[in-house]
Amino acid sequence: MKKIKSALISVYYKDNLAEIVKQLYQQGVQLYSTGGTQKFIEELNIPVTAVENLTAFPSIFGGRVKTLHPAVFGGILYRRDNEQDRQQAKQYDIQDIDLVIVDLYPFEETLAQTEDEAEIIEKIDIGGISLIRAAAKNFQDVLIVSSREQYENLLLLLKAKSGYTDLEDRKLFAAQAFATSSHYDTAIYNYFNRGAYLPYFKQSFQTGRTLRYGENPHQNSTFFGDLEAMFEQLNGKELSYNNLVDVDAAVALIDEFEEIAFAIIKHTNACGVATGKTLAEAYRKAFACDNISAFGGVLIANRTIDLETANEMNSLFFEILVAPNYTDEALAVLKSKKNRMLLRRKEAKLATKQFKTLLNGVIEQDKDLRTETAQDLRVVTTQAPTEEQIKALLFAAKICKHTKSNTIVLAAEGQLFASGVGQTSRVDALKQAIAKAQHFGFDLSQAVMASDAFFPFPDCVQIAHEVGIKAVIQPGGSVKDDDSIAFCNANQLAMVFTGIRHFKH
């Protein structure tokens, strides 16, 4: 056990600090501080010694150098059980510092608020990060509190143990301190690497939650990130690994639409997508796409769930519903199933990179954020698509982009008919889509076809023609594109190339 006799406090945010300062004062702790923190403590009418008095050296360079001095770091780093260290501390009149409380300059907050490089650089903390590392290294003798998120735990500790700490306490806070410093440095590195593209992979998340299990019950799983910044959960059990994977796919798909839209996701693929004049209409059309696969699915909307829509979907067993908001009446209906997970989506910045472990490393890429517009379409056949077909083609292409390869999507304007998903052959994907569309009673003479990649042979356009499809969208790029084009020209099919492939594995 170690008694805290002295503390150095240097923080950016002062929230919830007052109670700690008062507790330390009551326990007879000598306080040292700097700048704004010193002023804050003085305004509490609590005695505090300026670091400048400890170092006999002023704060210089606009506050860039305050604590970087042997009198400070010696007091933190010297080993109390080492005779030579004790002698040197005595020789140079270095005072013990038993507790260090730091809250770093808000680098990430500043980065989110401005592009001004000078302002961003000034929020790179030097003294604070050095204090954290020094105190954490000497956890045998010193307690380090490295962020304001730890204030509550510190206060509880001070009260519970009357100003004493044990080795387990200090080592735990040290681990948290190195988590703080490594996260901070990662954010700074990623800022500087924006244009440098150095081949070093650095990612850090400060929050995490243990999930019920992973993809299967025998797999452990943790989500790293701040889900509460993304969603407010209004009902239901905790989200699982598979739930989160499906919700991610649902969010990515629904964000393609500005008009009123509804989607139903199963194992990351859409089994229903539609737009409508009302949300209830969009839901009915989406559900009609495949009312079998919708069972146990993840539902998502880009408009407030109203009572009519809630009543329409309430008889369906589904795992999750995501929406920007819910009316009170709709919530009352939907909460009738206690395990049904209802998420209110918040405004949150989404990542533009994605990564995963692969073999003995990690693979990273830009997210596929490219969405085709009418300007991307190049008509390659003598028959041009009609305005209605163009709208349907672009709608189908959006769904195709978010479906596992190989995929073929059949759709009309504003409604998915069917998709062939994750097939080893593009022909098989098309046959699967046709079979599903016909099973659910869709008239394929009203459908268009979208493919995530080029047709290596003309067989897909031949099969599409046989069932009445009259317009096709695909990236193009096959050495045998001319064969597909020739067939379309001979059979009055319209086909457009986008030059954009959307493989999804």
Which positions are annotated as active-site residues? 137, 267
486 vs 367: CA distance, rounded Å = 35
On the CB side of 470, CA atoms within 13 Å amount to 15
Residues paired with residue 451 on neighbouring β-strands, in sequence order: 408
446 vs 410: CA distance, rounded Å = 10
Q: Please enumerate in sequence order all residues whose Cβ is within 8 A of that of 401, keeping only pairs 6 or more positions apart, or say none.
A: 256, 368, 371, 452, 502, 504
**Quick one: CA dihedral 241, 246, 251, 253, positive or negative?**
positive
Q: In this structure, are residues 503 and 368 in contact, taking their beta carbons and an 8 Å threshold? A: no
Q: Do you find a cis peptide bond into 491, omega within 30 degrees of 0?
A: no
CB count within 10 Å of CB 9 equals 25
CB count within 10 Å of CB 306 equals 19
DSSP for 245-303, written as a single string: HHHHHHHHHHTT-SSSEEEEEETTEEEEEEE-SSHHHHHHHHHHH-TTTTTT-EEEESS
